[in-house]
Amino acid sequence: MISGVTKRNIFDELKIRNTNWSGRLDEVEFLNRLFDIESLSTTDSKFQNMRGDIWQHRINNNDWDDWWIISDVRLNLMSDDDTFLRFITETIHPVVRNDAKEISELLNVFNGHLAADGWKLVEKTRISNKPIYVAVEFKSDFEFRNENEISEKYAGDQLKKCTDKIVRNDYGGAVSSARAFVEGVFSDIYKRIIGEEMLQSGNLPDKYKLIKNLLKLSQVQSPDKSFKSICDGFSKIVHAIDNLSNSIGDRHVPSTEPELYEVEFCINSAKIMADFLYGRLQQEYQDKENLFDGLIAILDSDNKRALSGDELRADPAIAIILEKCDEYIVSLLKDKFINDYQINSFKQNDIFFAGMRIIFDKLSKSDFERIYNKCKDNNQALPPYGGLKYFISDVLQKKPDYLSKVHNDFLKVNKPKMEIPF
Q: Residue 340's closest CA among 224, 183, 196, 226? A: 196
pLDDT of the residue at 228: 72
Q: What percent of the chain has a predicted confidence (pLDDT) above 90? A: 39
Give the Cα separation of 34 and 210 in Å (integer): 58
Cβ–Cβ under 8 Å, residues 352 and 343: yes
Please give the mean pLDDT across all residues of the chain: 85
Confidence at residue 385, expressed as pLDDT on a 0 to 100 scale: 80
- pLDDT tier for residue 371 given thresholds of 50, 70 and 90: very high
Tell whether the model's pLDDT for residue 186 goes beyond 60.
yes
**pLDDT for the residue numbered 98:** 93
Cα atoms in the 13 Å half-sphere on the side-chain side of 112 = 12
- What phi, psi does 21 have (nearest 5°)? -65, -25
pLDDT tens per residue, range 136-148 = 886 545 556 656 6
Average the pLDDT over 325-350 and give the result: 87
In the predicted structure, residue 419 carries a pLDDT above the cut 60: no
Q: What is the pLDDT of residues 200-222, one digit of tens each?
A: 766 899 999 888 888 878 665 55
Q: Which conformational region is residue 150 in: left (phi greater than 0), alpha (psi within -120 to 50 degrees), or beta? A: beta
What are the CA-CA distances from residue 395 to residues 184, 308, 390, 411, 422 (Å)?
42, 14, 9, 11, 9
pLDDT at 128: 92
3-state secondary structure of 267: helix
Contacts of 246 (CB under 8 A, 6+ apart): 252
Winning range, highest mean pLDDT, from 50-64, 93-107, 139-153, 247-261? 93-107
pLDDT at 284 over 90: no
Higher pLDDT, 416 or 45: 45
Task: Give the global pTM.
Answer: 0.53
pLDDT at 275: 86
Judged by average pLDDT, the poorest of 54-68, 193-207, 243-257, 349-363 is: 243-257
pLDDT at 124: 85
7 pLDDT band, cuts 50/70/90, is very high
Digit-coded pLDDT (tens) for 75-108: 999 999 999 999 999 999 999 999 999 999 999 8
262 — pLDDT class (breaks 50, 70, 90): confident
Looking at per-residue pLDDT, the higher value among 306 and 227 belongs to 306
Rounded alpha-carbon distances, angstroms, from residue 147 to 143, 281, 288, 420: 9, 14, 20, 48
